[in-house]
A and B are shown apart, each in its own frame.
Chain A
Amino acid sequence: MTSSLSTVVRPSVGPHLKVVLTGPFGVGKTTLVGAVSDIAPVTTEARMSAGNADDTTYAPAKTTTTVAMDFGRLEVQGVTVYVYGTPGQHRFWFMWDAIVRGALGAVVLVDTRRLEDSFRHLDYVDNARLPFVIAVNQFPDAHTYPVDAIRDALAIDADVPIVGIDARDRDSVRDLLIALVEHIISRTHRPATSPPA
Chain B
Amino acid sequence: MSNLSYLLNNNLVARVPGIAQAVAVSVDGLLLAWTDGLNRDAAERLAAIAAGMKSLLNGAARDLGAGGVQGNITELADGFLVLVTVSTGASLLVLATRHADLEFVTVELGRFVEQVGEQLTPAFAGDLASTGSGRP
Contacts and interface: CB of A to CB of B under 8 A. Distances in A.
B127 A95 contact: no
A49 interface: no
B124 A12 contact: yes
Interface in A1-29: 7-13, 15-18
Contact of A16 (B59, B127, B129): B127
Interface string A83-117: 01000000000110011011110000000000000
B130 interface: yes
A44 B52 contact: yes
A189 interface: yes
Interface residues of B, number: 41
A4 to B, nearest CB: 10
Given A40-B45, A95-B56, A11 B40 contact: yes
Tell which of B59, B125, B131 has the most Cβ of chain A within 10 Å: B131
Interface string B98-136: 000000000000000000000000101101111111010
Interface residues of A, number: 36
Given A102-B27, A102-B124, A103-B28, A10 B130 contact: no
A157 B74 CA distance: 46
Chain B contact residues: over half helix, strand or loop, or mixed? helix
B49 A42 contact: yes
Most A-side CB within 10 Å, residue of B27, B36, B48, B62: B48
A39 B58 contact: no
Nearest to A69: B52
B5 A185 contact: no
Contact of A188 (B4, B30, B49, B132): B132
Interface of A: 7-13, 15-18, 39-42, 44, 68-69, 71, 73, 78-79, 82, 84, 94-95, 98-99, 101-104, 184-185, 188-189
